[in-house]
Amino acid sequence: MSYKDKIDLTRLPRHIAVIMDGNGRWAKARGKNRIFGHTNGVRAVRETAEACAELGVEYLTVYAFSTENWSRPEREVNALMSLLVKTIDKEIDTLLKNDIRLGMIGDMSALPKSVADKLRHAIETTAHCKRMQLTLALSYSGKAELERAIKLIAKDVLNGSLIPEDITQELIEQYLYTYGMPDPELLIRTSGEQRLSNFLLWQMAYAEFYFTDVMWPDFDREELYKAVYDFQHRERRFGKTSEQLAVS
């Protein structure tokens, strides 16, 4: 029996975030270079996105390239960037067919022009799609996102459009890349590592963490269903007690 049949479709996480880890180790175990791992990771992105959309998950955010990843060997960075361009080109029809909107969080200005242009085009072309939003975190880091938000808020205080008393959690959220998106309720990280790695630091305040030893290129629909099933068996207390949850 597939985990899919055990999932309660009325209690899905609205937003799933994924740290796709293990491409390099997966490739090494097969005597191949790291880029082979990333290339095989694309299938897992496609399968996870389709499975989420079919279930009814509204937002899927995948950590595709962190600001820290810029310090990887130049050859790997270039290969990842050209893989992105190729993948966006190739998958745009699949996105449209599945009614999936593409989004991006991170520093677009740090990306090579070819990647930024393709992304902008794909984001515009799929902007009308309603079923799910697939967001790529690219040149992204949680601390950099908060630094950017704080600078923007400081500028607005200086130019008089805000006063310090206006700065609430709701206002801060308006200055984040994720403005308008619900916070992730489930974070999945593959490859056995159990870290947040600077991903969505603010937004992950109440996320449930799910770690699996599966390497990202081996992640598939069934693994996604397993993670959602696991999520549905967590008690999410948001600071309350179990007894309080039972009466509400």
Point out the residues that are catalytic: 21, 69
Is 124:90 a contact under the CB 8 Å cutoff? no
Coil/strand/helix, residue 20: coil
Q: Does 227 bind ligand FPP (CB under 6 A)?
A: no
Is 50:43 a contact under the CB 8 Å cutoff? no
Q: Are strands 132-140 and 186-189 parallel, antiparallel or unpaired?
A: unpaired
Span near ligand FPP by CB under 6 A; candidates 21-29, 99-107, 150-158, 179-187:
21-29
Binding residue (CB under 6 A) for ligand FPP from 4, 33, 42, 222? 42
Q: How many residues bind ligand FPP (CB under 6 A)?
A: 20
Instruction: Closer to ligand FPP by CB, 136 or 149: give it.
Output: 136
Instruction: Closer to ligand FPP by CB, 216 or 231: give it.
Output: 216
Binding residue (CB under 6 A) for ligand FPP from 7, 16, 18, 20? 20
Coil/strand/helix, residue 75: helix
Q: What b/e sequence results for 60-86 when a residue is b if at least 16 CB atoms lie within 10 Å of its CB, and e otherwise?
A: bbbbbbbbebeebeeeeeebbbebbbe
**Shortest gap between Cβ of 224 and ligand FPP (angstroms)?**
15
Is 231:206 a contact under the CB 8 Å cutoff? no
Q: Does 104 bind ligand FPP (CB under 6 A)?
A: no
Q: Does 62 bind ligand FPP (CB under 6 A)?
A: yes
Please give the order of strands across the beta sheet that includes 59-66.
100-105, 132-140, 59-66, 15-19, 186-189, 208-211
Binding residue (CB under 6 A) for ligand FPP from 51, 57, 64, 214? 64
Of 89, 85, 73, 91, the residue nearest 35 (C-alpha): 73
Q: Does 22 bind ligand FPP (CB under 6 A)?
A: yes
Q: Does 223 bind ligand FPP (CB under 6 A)?
A: no
Which segments within 58-177 are labelled E, that is strand? 59-66, 100-105, 132-140
**Measured between alpha carbons, how far is residue 93 from residues 56, 129, 165 in Å?**
20, 12, 47
Q: Does 25 bind ligand FPP (CB under 6 A)?
A: yes
**Shortest gap between Cβ of 88 and ligand FPP (angstroms)?**
7
Q: Does 136 bind ligand FPP (CB under 6 A)?
A: yes
Instruction: Closer to ligand FPP by CB, 7 or 219: give it.
Output: 219
Contacts with ligand FPP in 159-198 (CB under 6 A)?
Answer: 191
Of 142, 143, 137, 145, the residue nearest 64 (C-alpha): 137
Span near ligand FPP by CB under 6 A; candidates 62-70, 109-117, 152-160, 165-173:
62-70
Q: Angle formed by the axes of helices 74-97 and 34-55, to 10°? A: 20
* Residue least distant from ligand FPP (Cβ): 24
Q: Does 207 bind ligand FPP (CB under 6 A)?
A: no
**Shortest gap between Cβ of 165 and ligand FPP (angstroms)?**
41
